[in-house]
Amino acid sequence: MKTIEQISELFKNTKNTRSQLIISGPCSAETEEQVMQTATELKKLNKVHVFRAGIWKPRTLPGKFEGVGNVGLEWLRNVKNELHLPVTTEVATAKHVYEALKFGIDILWIGARTTTTPFGVQEIADALKGTDIPVLIKNPISPDMDLWIGAIERIKNAGLTKVGVIHRGFSTWEKTKYRNNPHWQIAIELKRRFPDLLMICDPSHITGNKDLIYEVAQKSVDFNFGGLMIESHINPCEALSDKEQQLTPNELNDIIERLHISTENFGNIPVNQKITEIRGEIDLIDELLIDVLGKRMQLSEKIGMYKRDNKLSILQINRWNEIMQTRKDKAEKLGLSGNFIENIFKEIHIESINIQAKVLNQ
């Protein structure tokens, strides 16, 4: 287990390490018994470094469970004192900061909704002046890099030196398998700009589905993130918030055990980390290419339906010539080989024709 002093050092020195900071606990502190039971089971795993629980939980819609308030801070303090497990919670106002500090909370995090509001972040920064408690900042709800960087700078400008970030995904109108679209490229770009910044991933909020947590957690490890924040509840089925994304302590243990952290030729740490990061970016782009091709073929299927219903031929030579010329021109402007792009689009066109033919034959 790591002490709070050792954890604090991770905020200052993220180079040359593959150590994973594991933060876990329920979405919300609900009862004293629930908090202590969950923390006790997590402590037994000997893999969780920090216990988390939401104390103030403003919901998107009113009328739902919005947290127990200050009494939950006392429960967290009991976890810290009795189990010797560092604790963390979310703060959204200056009052939250003062109360959390009064109860000896070890680490604070700023939520996605608060990061979106510079006034809110500045209020928290002002309340933190004169302290040097570790602070983690979640990405804003919208995919806005400047908002995220602005929040980091406001907290640092208040004199805090132990500042990290949490990648928890971004809201999107587009329906995907994720609750919040990871937009990995944004997190990777932030890592590129701030290579010394501790970045951890929150697969629970990215996925909204416990069955997808391992997949996202492994990807963050592949991208050399410094840790994970994963929600865990002693009885997720009865959780008062976000029950679909919370794991039991045993399920969390299984995921941590399955994570693959590469150590091959790790003697030259900076070089291997860089290669791993670049490979991770290549994997991400390949996934995006496959997703885009899938959407393109769905559109080909729609066109096939219109051609069938209006008795049009599948092959439209003028359209094909237009596609080939415009794509080659664009590719050559980017320094790509025209022949390379022509070969790719020939295969795409053949598959599109095959899909339209299937529709026509139906």
Radius of gyration of the chain (CA): 24
**DSSP one-letter code for 140:** P
The reported pLDDT for the residue numbered 266 is 44
Question: How many Cα atoms within 13 Å fall on the side-chain side of residue 30?
Answer: 21
The neighbour count for residue 34, using CB atoms within 10 Å, is 20
> CATH topology for 274-361?
Chorismate Mutase Domain, subunit A (1.20.59)
Q: Which tens digit of pLDDT belongs to each residue from 107-117?
A: 999 999 999 99
Question: Is it the case that residue 264 has pLDDT exceeding 50?
Answer: no
Over residues 181-232, the pLDDT tens digits come to: 998 989 988 988 998 899 999 999 999 999 999 999 999 998 889 999 999 9
**Which contacts of 114-120 are long-range, i.e. CB under 8 A and separated by 24 or more positions?**
115/139, 115/140, 115/141, 115/147, 115/148, 115/151, 116/140, 116/141, 116/142, 116/144, 116/147, 118/147, 118/150, 118/151, 118/154, 120/92, 120/93
Overall average pLDDT of the 12-18 stretch? 58
The model's confidence at residue 272, banded by pLDDT at 50, 70 and 90, is low
pLDDT band at 263 (very low <50, low <70, confident <90, very high): low
Phi/psi of residue 110, nearest 5 degrees:
-105, 125
Residue 66 is encoded by which pair of tokens? 């919005």
Instruction: Provide the CATH number for the domain formed by 4-260 in this structure.
Output: 3.20.20.70
- Strand-pair category, 135-138 with 87-91: unpaired
Half-sphere exposure of 75 (CA within 13 A, CB side): 27
Strands (E), the chain: 21-25, 50-52, 87-91, 107-110, 135-138, 163-167, 198-201, 227-231
The answer to whether 4-260 and 274-361 have equal CATH topology is: no
- The confidence score (pLDDT) of residue 265 equals 44
Please, which pLDDT band fits residue 343 given cuts at 50, 70 and 90?
A: confident
Q: Which of 120-134, 285-299, 311-325 has the lowest mean pLDDT?
A: 311-325
Q: What is the model's pTM?
A: 0.77
> Where do the domains of the chain lie?
4-260, 274-361
Give per-residue pLDDT as tens, 210-222: 999 999 999 999 8
pLDDT above 70 covers a percentage of the chain that reads 93
Separation of alpha carbons 239 and 70, rounded Å: 19
Q: Which residues of 207-216 are buried (b: 16+ CB within 10 A; e: fewer)?
A: bbebebbbeb
Q: Which of 11-15, 155-159, 276-280, 339-343 has the highest mean pLDDT?
A: 155-159
What is residue 269's predicted lDDT score, i.e. its pLDDT? 52
Q: What are residue 138's phi and psi, to 5 degrees?
A: -75, 150
